[in-house]
Structure 1
Amino acid sequence: MSLKVTIIGGGSSYTPEIIEGFMNRYPSFPVTEIVLVDIEKGHNKLKIVTSLAKRMIQKSGLPIKLSYTLDRRKALENADFVATQIRVGGLDAREKDERISLSHGVIGQETNGAGGIFKALRTIPVMLDIAQDIHEICPNAWMINFTNPAGIVTEALLKYSPHKKVIGVCNIPFNMKNSVAEMMDCNVNDVEIEFIGMNHFVFGRSVYIQGEDRTAAVLEKMLQQNVDYSPANIVSIGWSETFIHALKMLPNPYHQYYFQKEETLEKDLTAFKENGTRSEVVKQVEMDLFEKYKDENLDVKPEELEKRGGAYYSDAACNLMDSIHNNKGDVQTVNTMNNGAIPDLPTNSVIEVNAVITKDGPKAIASGHLPLNIKGITIQMKAFEELVIEAAISGDYLKAYEAMVMNPLVQNEKKAKILLDELLEAHKDYLPQFQK
């Protein structure tokens, strides 16, 4: 039986991670064909990654056919799963997001604040085109989206694309589970976290180890050890004892942008002056990675890839495909339609939630009402995301302005207009919907 996976954005430095994930799961997820596809601008990287992926597969001895193409529609033919990991405008666009934001005293992070808004505005129309192709060419395929901002993009697809077999994944819940296992000196498979909220704004409400509620112990251990469970792209500055005791939940690494805004901005501005933007750091990491990838003797995923910030991506994406393929009915944390799982948020909005994974997709596990201490800001964040999606679809300047004003990292009506105008000009080549 054939089992084909198409990876859109195949020239990404992350690709060896997902190839390794497929190889590790081959007995239960026996993929027969992988096609990597990218755009002309990424052709050289695509060839380099393809060569490395072929060496990895050859070393494994597994009967997996791997190829690459620039023809997306051809790559989609007979696909069972389509993974998307694209970056519209590349790291150059990210650098503009970060530089312009920081120049106006606003946190310049690629999926939050002004940067996150513009990443979504550039990305959503392209992802809708991809979803349309999938719907026409391989309508039964599951689209597994890792493209950031994952929650916003997944919601846009589920609302505005005819293709409804779409699930968003993020490595942050995986990071958090693995960090809890490290803190508590236990096997990660013994850790279960009840997640509640949205992508990059999700909380760990309860932590269970071998079925026992250990939330309080984990929170205390986190404070005692000052544990950093941030991915490589986020430098943690730690949490105060008062905040953790009041919250009574596990914050995720992205929460520092909202609950430690001034300190994080100061840290980012210092890093900006000393080392440039995060995108410039990533560019150097990528250059070094691709030099390694070129080595014809390299036939494994290099350890340096974890510096890229995508650790556990393959676990999140490959576990999901494996469970759908085998109708496992296990519980994973995904971005999917709310459908009443969190009554405080719109039914047709996307949340990040624990879900039972079946051949028919994820079934969100009801988590009930949001705790009062996070209810207000979570509802605000969801309304902000909906404004971003409407702006991306319509190209409506005022919708984009409203989204900028309502984002907690901006929330200044004059600064919002300055940022919006500068970023629209900087990214005009990738924002045709705003040029009418």
Structure 2
Amino acid sequence: MKKFSVVIAGGGSTFTPGIVMMLLDNQDRFPLRKLTLYDNDGKRQGILGDALAILLRENAPEIEFKHTTDPEEAFTDTDFCMAHIRVGKYAMRELDEKIPLKYGVIGQETCGPGGIAYGMRSITGMLEIIDYMERYSKDCWMLNYSNPASIVAEACRVLRPEAKVLNICDMPVGTLRRMSQIIGKTPKELDVRYFGLNHFGWWTSVKDKEGNEYLEDIKSYVSEHGYLTQIEVDTQHTDPSWQKTHKKAKDLLAINPRYLPNTYLKYYLYPDDEVAHANCSFTRANEVMEGREKTVFDAAKEIVRKGTAVGSGFHIDAHASFIVDLARAIAYNTHERMLMIVENNGAISNFPDDAMVEVPCIVGSGGPEPLSQGRIPDFEKTLMYQQLMVEKMVVEAYVEKSYLKLWQALTLSKTIPSAGVAKALLDDLIEANKDFWPELS
């Protein structure tokens, strides 16, 4: 069986150890010959990289491993780039969340003004990595799960239309895991139908391989409990803020009982509730920095101190095995069925062809082929179109360096009450992001 060379772009991420351990756990399905971490912050990445070098030496010495800040070294002789970058790191995420709250607007990593600010930063970083990949390994595929995925995917469509970039999100994977727990199945036993934009969509069918439909059963449960379950194996989404999010799904179902909602819809349909319950001095970014960030880096330092990863505090990210499923689909032409972010081109028949939508796809060696979801109802279509225009205008603002376009994008967002608030927010965000955004005029 062929062995593959993988580079993880964003090697200093708190998710990197879990991804590496997941890859090691899947060597029978997706064997590696080389694994490289790449990040432009060598000091941060080095803490994790030194610990992971010990882990691999003890558990998979046959895999060539290194961490580097040199793009040529990182991307040469690479089959797959797994990208989870965070331009500005958690310091900028904290500002993304706290600046909007000053104006009574929800601050969130991927939605509303915080997501727009993050998107404007992410475009530059993503284009840079795509260019490195194409320069040094032109046949390499990028498996991108960097946020905010909708804005990043639209930027790739506009600015790098021929790039071999596959855009995918872990949120539907995590929610499907919870759905499977509700009905006593496993995610692999289920096929879904889904339509939307990233972090903005609905499940219309959840069937097992024998064709039994569970949509109504799951809706009945969600109407009382949201997506909260008694089994917590998805460690990424178990913090208190996420538990509130899973519970809120019952209110999302109440306003639109036709389909099962993506949890992120709460930021668009109940933004006043989110602001009312937000802690302006301690947001999700602080929760992560004091929780996962500290835990992961402390564990890495302890591994290096002891010189062994035996009994380490690193935990396998089993939930991220969707990344291996995607890589295998390309490498082995498995025709895996997965939710992907792709150009619509008729998949949703009454929605713009050039929209980057999230729908089920069959993935093989040539990439994803979207499955038709037919026509969608007016309520969902109208919400989606408004959000689509926000994302398109953000990318236009980036390309044209247009203050007006970005102001209009913020004004269109359902999370912002007026053009006046949008302008005040924009001016604050420009100042906070002056080291990352293009200069707007």
Distance across 2 between alignment mates of 1:57 and 1:315? 18
- Per-residue CA shift, 1:222-275, capped at 9, x if unaligned? 22444327934633243457944843211111111112221111111xx334xx
Q: Equivalent residue for 1:262?
A: 272
Q: Equivalent residue for 2:218?
A: 218
Q: Equivalent residue for 2:289?
A: 283
- Per-residue CA shift, 1:357-407, capped at 9, x if unaligned? 101111111111222331110111111110011112221100101100001
Distance across 2 between alignment mates of 1:217 and 1:245? 18
Unaligned stretches of 5+ residues in structure 2: 230-235
Distance across 2 between alignment mates of 1:303 and 1:22? 13
* Contact 1:125-1:392 within 8 A present in 2 as well: no
After TM superposition, give the deviation of residue 202 of structure 1 in Å.
1.8
* Contact 1:111-1:119 within 8 A present in 2 as well: yes
Give the number of equivalent residue pairs.
424
* Contact 2:194-2:203 within 8 A present in 1 as well: yes
Distance across 2 between alignment mates of 1:226 and 1:253? 9
* Contact 1:5-1:35 within 8 A present in 2 as well: yes
Q: Equivalent residue for 1:408?
A: 414
After TM superposition, give the deviation of residue 166 of structure 1 in Å.
0.7
* Contact 1:13-1:289 within 8 A present in 2 as well: yes
**SS in structure 1 at match of 2:104:** coil
**SS in structure 2 at match of 1:430:** coil
User: Does 2:292 match 1:292?
Assistant: no
Q: Which moved more, 1:78-87 or 1:162-171?
A: 162-171
Using structure 1 for the length normalisation, give the TM-score. 0.91
**SS in structure 2 at match of 1:247:** coil
Distance across 2 between alignment mates of 1:241 and 1:422? 32
Q: Equivalent residue for 1:392?
A: 398
Cα gap change, 1:46/1:181 in structure 2, threshold over 3 Å: closer, same or farther? Answer: same
Q: Equivalent residue for 1:322?
A: 328
Q: Which moved more, 1:222-231 or 1:353-362?
A: 222-231
Distance across 1 between alignment mates of 2:250 and 2:15? 34
Distance across 2 between alignment mates of 1:135 and 1:242? 42
Distance across 2 between alignment mates of 1:109 and 1:385? 15
Cα gap change, 1:204/1:88 in structure 2, threshold over 3 Å: closer, same or farther? Answer: same
Which residue identity does 2:48 align to in structure 1?
Answer: V
Distance across 1 between alignment mates of 2:310 and 2:381? 48
Which residue identity does 1:7 align to in structure 2?
Answer: I
Cα gap change, 1:87/1:255 in structure 2, threshold over 3 Å: closer, same or farther? Answer: same
Distance across 2 between alignment mates of 1:327 and 1:160? 27
Q: Equivalent residue for 2:262?
A: 252
Q: Equivalent residue for 2:342?
A: 336
Which residue identity does 2:21 align to in structure 1?
Answer: E
After TM superposition, give the deviation of residue 163 of structure 1 in Å.
4.2
**SS in structure 1 at match of 2:280:** helix
Using structure 2 for the length normalisation, give the TM-score. 0.90
Distance across 1 between alignment mates of 2:202 and 2:323? 21
**SS in structure 2 at match of 1:10:** coil
Q: Equivalent residue for 1:45?
A: 44
Q: How does 1:127-142 map to 2 (within 5 A)?
A: 127-142=126-141
- Per-residue CA shift, 1:118-157, capped at 9, x if unaligned? 1011111221122122222212111111110012102211
**SS in structure 2 at match of 1:294:** helix
Which residue identity does 1:420 align to in structure 2?
Answer: L
Identity value in percent:
28
Distance across 2 between alignment mates of 1:381 and 1:191? 29
**SS in structure 2 at match of 1:336:** strand
Q: Equivalent residue for 1:87?
A: 86
Q: How does 1:197-208 map to 2 (within 5 A)?
A: 197-208=196-207
**SS in structure 2 at match of 1:238:** helix
After TM superposition, give the deviation of residue 170 of structure 1 in Å.
1.0
Name which of 346, 370, 379 aligns with 1:373: 379
Q: Equivalent residue for 2:36?
A: 35
Q: Equivalent residue for 2:177?
A: 178
Distance across 2 between alignment mates of 1:299 and 1:362? 39
* Contact 2:252-2:266 within 8 A present in 1 as well: no
After TM superposition, give the deviation of residue 424 of structure 1 in Å.
0.3
User: Does 2:273 match 1:272?
Assistant: no
After TM superposition, give the deviation of residue 104 of structure 1 in Å.
0.5
- Per-residue CA shift, 1:331-381, capped at 9, x if unaligned? 011112222111233222211111101011111111112223311101111
* Contact 2:144-2:168 within 8 A present in 1 as well: yes
* Contact 2:38-2:68 within 8 A present in 1 as well: yes
Distance across 1 between alignment mates of 2:153 and 2:311? 31
Which residue identity does 2:22 align to in structure 1?
Answer: G
Cα gap change, 1:29/1:327 in structure 2, threshold over 3 Å: closer, same or farther? Answer: same
* Contact 2:344-2:353 within 8 A present in 1 as well: yes
Distance across 1 between alignment mates of 2:28 and 2:61? 10
* Contact 1:131-1:157 within 8 A present in 2 as well: no
Q: Equivalent residue for 1:57?
A: 56
* Contact 1:132-1:162 within 8 A present in 2 as well: no
Distance across 2 between alignment mates of 1:322 and 1:191? 19
Q: Which moved more, 1:209-218 or 1:43-52?
A: 43-52
Q: Equivalent residue for 1:227?
A: 227
User: Does 2:18 match 1:17?
Assistant: yes
**SS in structure 1 at match of 2:32:** coil
Q: Which moved more, 1:10-19 or 1:292-301?
A: 292-301
Distance across 2 between alignment mates of 1:134 and 1:189? 32
Distance across 2 between alignment mates of 1:245 and 1:339? 29
Distance across 2 between alignment mates of 1:299 and 1:365? 45
After TM superposition, give the deviation of residue 190 of structure 1 in Å.
1.4
After TM superposition, give the deviation of residue 419 of structure 1 in Å.
0.3
Unaligned stretches of 5+ residues in structure 1: none
